[in-house]
Amino acid sequence: MLSHDQITAVTRLRHDLHKAPELSGQEANTARLIASFLRSTRPDKILSGIGGHGVAVVYQGKAPGPTILFRAELDALPITEASALPYRSERESVAHLCGHDGHMASLAGLGLLLGDTGLARGRVILLFQPAEETGQGARAVLADPQFAGLRPDYAFAYHNMPGLPLGALAVAPGPASCASVGLRLRYLGREAHASSPEAGVSPAPALAALMADLARYAAPCRMDAGFRLATICHLNMGIPAFGIAPGRAEVFVTLRALSDTALERFTADVEAQAKACAGGLEVQISHHDQFSASINHPDAVAYITRAGQMLGLREADFDLPMRASEDFGAFSQSAATALFFLGSGEGLPDLHDPYFDFPDALIPTACSVFQSVLMQITSDADCYNRV
């Protein structure tokens, strides 16, 4: 458990991070702040510049054992903060409105505890990952040669969840967050005079047919294996003039499914439909903001559930998997992972809302969950065989 002084230190760290937010891929200063905060905990190594501005703080145990990774995110959002907090963002149009400042402070708290007690067994990696909001950071970290020697057996991360009671816990085995991808579909035809549209090639009929097809996936449906959600995020056709029949159109659509393979099939179906609607138009398709599904491993979940019981945390009434995506899913492919959720309070503005602010009171709770998980794994003789 964090001491009073440690709680004061990590709370101050969060406020410092909150004041100086940085966008995905530009988190150089945040990374420096984290590394300098944790240097006093005497880790065995601090690696920086992983997958961009990622920082891995490594604590080696006295005896061999599994590698356990805990992850927080470095990045903030391109939104102007609306609150009048004394530590509000000092940067125009950039703010920590997803609570990543709080996630970093929680992980830094675990670093303080490790600095006090050392690690009996195994190895702990505190990973401060860049570019979560764009879905690029986790993959970039995994692809970085510096990370090759740090491959974890277990990986844990949490996201705070406004609307749930403060400190209430939600975790379950299986899918925790959806796989998603942004498709940019472009129809290229030819403009014509609006009085002779037949002389050109308009994308309007193709667009109408595609919209009708995508509407089948627009309504919320059950979160079972057949779950498919398509959200049309942007449409653009022709130019705003009454004298010109349009020659090109563009659609941004975000697709979601419960697994990476289900998303691949969904993407192939939408692409085939987009081409089938095209008629004489050229079709261009590109993929953006790709997120893997986070799949929770039952053993990793059991450690979190037990931590919640030992700490007396109430169970949150929260449906899993959540529809949103989390790039933590990229770690699910090579480690036993658990993504869990902690309530950040009822009546709190939503994530990404200009008034959102992470509650400081959640930092010690999150830190205690991490510490409990760590103690359970390092004292579990079978922890190797379980993975």
Contact residues for Zn ion, defined by CB under 5 A: 98
- CA-angle at 173, arms to 226 and 340, nearest 5°: 110
Give the residue with the Cβ less far from Zn ion, 187 or 358.
358
Give the residue with the Cβ less far from Zn ion, 98 or 313.
98
Provide, rounded to whole angstroms, the least separation between the CB of residue 100 and Zn ion: 6
- The residues near 296 (Cβ < 8 Å, ≥ 6 apart) are 171, 172, 173, 174, 175, 176, 332, 337, 338, 339
Provide, rounded to whole angstroms, the least separation between the CB of residue 351 and Zn ion: 6
Whole-angstrom Cα distance, residue 354 to residue 76? 12
Torsion sign, CA atoms 374, 339, 96, 350: negative
Give the residue with the Cβ less far from Zn ion, 98 or 251.
98
Whole-angstrom Cα distance, residue 331 to residue 329? 5
Provide, rounded to whole angstroms, the least separation between the CB of residue 385 and Zn ion: 33
Provide, rounded to whole angstroms, the least separation between the CB of residue 136 and Zn ion: 14
Pick from 295, 340, 351: nearest CA to 106 = 340
Token pair of 112 as six digits: 């303080």
Strand blocks (E) in the chain: 45-50, 54-60, 63-73, 121-129, 154-162, 169-170, 174-177, 179-188, 192-193, 228-237, 244-245, 248-257, 282-291, 294-296, 336-345
3-state secondary structure of 56: strand
Provide, rounded to whole angstroms, the least separation between the CB of residue 75 and Zn ion: 8
- The residues near 29 (Cβ < 8 Å, ≥ 6 apart) are 20, 22
Peptide bond connecting 321 to the previous residue in cis, omega within 30 degrees of 0 = yes
Give the residue with the Cβ less far from Zn ion, 123 or 159.
159
Give the residue with the Cβ less far from Zn ion, 98 or 262.
98
Give the residue with the Cβ less far from Zn ion, 227 or 341.
341
Provide, rounded to whole angstroms, the least separation between the CB of residue 12 and Zn ion: 22
Give the residue with the Cβ less far from Zn ion, 75 or 153.
75
Provide, rounded to whole angstroms, the least separation between the CB of residue 15 and Zn ion: 18
